[in-house]
Structure 1
Amino acid sequence: MGIKLFVTDLDGTLLNNNNVVSDKNISAIKEAIAAGVIVTFATGRMYSSALKYAQQINIDVPIITYNGALIKSTSSKIYHEDFIEPDVVTELVNYCAPKGWYLLVASNDEVYFPDYTERAVNYEKTAGLKGFPVGWDNLSQKTENVGKMLFVTENFCQNKLILPSLEDSIIEEISHKFADKLNFVKSKQGLIEVIKPTVSKANALQILAKHFNIPIAEVMAIGDANNDLPMLHAAGKSVAMGNAADDIKAVCDYTVSSNEDDGVAEAIYTYILN
């Protein structure tokens, strides 16, 4: 029994720290595909931000975006969507505005900022896309097809944590108010992903496995961050990146090298094509 579906996270996993897919990772993916393995992504990124990497590798498969809220192929076929309710988007924006929490809204695969700050610039650079500053009042009206919202804190794009407990304190406060409406997940330093409670990479992985008629036992997932945990638990085999936190490594079957050292290629060659 071999692996038939390989699902990789992007940031901190397939991508190096310069947001590039290495030649070695591309070669490994193409060899896996040639061997009959379906290879796809599961990312918190917007579809438009993830699409370019699928096109670079030249794969036309359903890719999991917005942490599972949208599964859509590179040829634009939609397999699954589960967007945040419009009134909940407005409620969260209006709650955050007086607190000064910097919140982005991803609506119709465009990203909107309350204002254009250094955090917006850094997010554009990381995501490889251009956003739109619209003001808090207009932000609360960007409610159509919202795959996720995103808190960007002072810790984002810093070499060290300025306020170590900031993200946890935001999540603790806001989780009580929106407990049945939204989930809040730390994806990387300074970022808190906001999604529907019904959305996860795990649910999306199971949808894809069912679509391709592949048993979960023949699915492998690889990741590095907290938003990967559900997917890593759900997959038949799980791989942690070398740069992952210890609690991620603890739940995985295997650990490979870091995203700077082609850990994805190592996983493919060692555990799929060996």
Structure 2
Amino acid sequence: MIRENCKVIISDLDGTLLNQHHVISDYTRSVFQELHQQNYLIVVATGRHHLDAMPLVEKLGVPLYLVTSNGARIHSPSKELLFSINMESDTVKSILSLDIDPEITTVLFREDIWQTNRHNEKLNSFQKEVTYHPQLVDFKKLDDYEAIKIFFTHENHDKLKKVRDLILEQYPDSFNHAFSLPICLEFMDKRVDKSVAITKILEIENLNFNHAISFGDGFNDEMMLASTGKGLIMGNAPETLKNKLSHLEVIATNHEDGVAKYLSESLLK
């Protein structure tokens, strides 16, 4: 049934297509090259910035649509920018003016750099090749706050929940937000979501979500997973996501090449 209807493969990156070393394995690469040979449309949808994500997906060696910053950017298989939306400067400034715990690493995703209030070694480790450079700043001294998204990270999930609640209390209907990982909280423009961006791509290709199979492991994948004809949750996803989408199948972890193994067994055999 999957093989008959499926024309589109959609995958998140971190915790999904990337293994525990934040790279695409040779096995995953070989499976995606075979999928391309069989004319499947491939979409990668990530919370990462496009400058960060592009060298990672290039390792697949296939043309693909790239959705980045949770849907704030769409690039075509030829790397043409198809869609772009930012958070306004005053909006971002108002969030940063709130009483946010200074222990939390705060990041503004800008077009060419990411600005942060503190050096974070774990965050830096997610980039194997540094194509998107950090800049340490005092957020009180910026002239312009326009950003693609705001990113908060801390090892203590409860601290991030307090930040989420603080922002939502002040601005209950102004933003879209998600935990991409339990240690990563992201706020975007209200119109930004991976599923919205993917809808735009499917319209270009005269397809719809019923033709798609998707893979993800975070709450920023929730709408994408729920919308596709077949949504699959990674074994390494948080239990809270598995419980919330309990009707969806859970597959092997990203450490085990779960996406590639599932696709090989379901579509290529």
Which structure 2 residue ranges, 5 or more long, are not aligned? Answer: none
Paired residues for 1:1-274 under 5 Å: 1-73=4-76, 75-96=78-99, 99-100=101-102, 101-115=104-118, 117=119, 119=120, 121-128=121-128, 129=130, 130-139=133-142, 141-143=144-146, 146-153=147-154, 155=155, 163-250=156-243, 251=245, 253-274=248-269
State whether residues 36 and 62 of structure 2, in contact with CA within 8 Å, keep that contact through their aligned partners in structure 1. no
State whether residues 239 and 267 of structure 1, in contact with CA within 8 Å, keep that contact through their aligned partners in structure 2. no
Of residues 130-139 and 34-43 in structure 1, the stretch that sits farther from structure 2 once superposed is 130-139
State whether residues 95 and 167 of structure 2, in contact with CA within 8 Å, keep that contact through their aligned partners in structure 1. no
The CA deviation at 1:140 is 6.1
The CA deviation at 1:113 is 1.0
**1:3-48, CA deviations, whole angstroms, 9 ceiling, x for partnerless residues?**
1111100010001111011111111111111111011210000001
Of residues 166-175 and 45-54 in structure 1, the stretch that sits farther from structure 2 once superposed is 166-175
**2:221 and 2:64 mapped to 1: Cα distance?**
20
SS at match of 1:228: helix
The CA deviation at 1:76 is 3.1
State whether residues 209 and 219 of structure 1, in contact with CA within 8 Å, keep that contact through their aligned partners in structure 2. no
**1:272 and 1:204 mapped to 2: Cα distance?**
25
The CA deviation at 1:229 is 0.6
Which structure 1 residue ranges, 5 or more long, are not aligned? Answer: 156-162
The CA deviation at 1:265 is 0.7
Cα RMSD of the aligned pairs, angstroms, is 1.9
**1:112-140, CA deviations, whole angstroms, 9 ceiling, x for partnerless residues?**
1124x3x2x32122144330112123446
Identity score, percent = 24
State whether residues 32 and 62 of structure 2, in contact with CA within 8 Å, keep that contact through their aligned partners in structure 1. no
User: Measured at CA, do residues 73 and 109 of structure 1 come closer, stay the same or move farther in structure 2, by a change above 3 Å?
Assistant: farther
TM-score between both structures, scaled by the size of structure 1:
0.88
SS at match of 2:148: strand
**1:149 and 1:73 mapped to 2: Cα distance?**
24
**2:235 and 2:190 mapped to 1: Cα distance?**
29
Instruction: Say how many residue pairs are matched.
Output: 260
State whether residues 232 and 238 of structure 1, in contact with CA within 8 Å, keep that contact through their aligned partners in structure 2. yes
**1:211 and 1:260 mapped to 2: Cα distance?**
33
TM-score between both structures, scaled by the size of structure 2:
0.89
